[in-house]
Structure 1
C-alpha cells in the first residue's frame, strides 16, 4: 500500500522539486498550504520542529506530515541571514544581499535545508542537508529564491540558477536533506 505524506507548502516550485527528489520512494505526496507561524530563532532544527508541532496540531496526530525550512548562512556574518533569508530577500532583493558582503573578502556561504517529519505514531525526525559555496553577483534566472546568487563549490562555477534541475538536485542542500529523508522512509516503511 502506498504511503501518503503531507508536505506543508504553498510554493508550487518547491513542491515540484520535492516530488522529483522523492520519486524513488513509493509514496503519495500531497501538500497543504498551512499558515504556520515561524519561530524567530537561529537554530534551524528548533524552527522546523516548532513548525511541525503546529502542522500536527492542525492536521491531527497520526497524519504523516513534514515541513522543510531552508536557510542561507554567510560565514562572514557568523551564520546570518540564516533562516531569515526569506525576509532579507523580500525586503532587500538579491542585489542588495550581494552588496552586503561587498566590503568583505570572505564570500563563503552555506545553503542548509532542514526537514522535520512526524510519522503515524507522532514521533518527530529531523534531517538536514548542507551545501558549501559562495555568494556571487546574480547569474541565471531569478525565479527561485536566491538560487542565482549562490555558487556551490562542487558546481564547476555555476550558480544553482544556471544548473539544470537534475545536476542541481545531485549537489543541493535540499537534495542532500531529501536523500536522507527518502532513505529513512524506505528503511522504515
Structure 2
C-alpha cells in the first residue's frame, strides 16, 4: 500500500497511525500541500479531489478521504466496535469530526502555524466553534476514558489528530482536563510519538 500524505496534516496522520496500529506495511509518500504537490497532473489522476491523504491499496485501487481510508483499513479490527450501536456511535463521532471539529480546530491551526496569522485576527466564528468542539469532546469524555465503548476506536484516532495540536491554533486546552487526559491515553494506546 502507498499512502500519499503530508506530515503536517492530522487527516494524513490518522491514516498512518491506523496502519501502524494494525501492523500494515506501507510506503509513505510525503506530499507537500504547501508546495501544491496534491495538485499535480499525476496526483489528480489518482485523486481528482486533489487532497491528501490518498492511498493506493495493495490491489492497486485508489481511496481518498481520511475517515473512509481508516474505516477500510480497520475493517474487522478492534478499532471498530463489534456492537452495532457502538459502531454507530463511532460513526457519529467520525461524521461530527469532519463537520464540526476539523473545520475549526484544524483551520485555526493552519492559519496561525502555517500562514502566520495572529490568533487575534482569526475569524471569531472559527474561534467560537472551535471552543464549542473542544467542550463537546470534554462533555463526551465524562463517562468513559475513550469516546466509544471504553476502548480506543477510530473515533479517538480521528479526533485526537487535530485536538492534540489545538494549541497551535490558539486554543488553550487548560480548560479541558478530560480532553488533555484523553489525548495522553490515545497517544499511548496508538503509540504516537512526537
TM-score of the aligned structures, taking structure 1 as reference length: 0.34
TM-score of the aligned structures, taking structure 2 as reference length: 0.33
Structure with the higher fraction of residues in strand conformation: 1
Structure with the higher fraction of residues in helix conformation: 2
Which one has more relative contact order, counting CA pairs under 8 Å at least 6 apart? 2
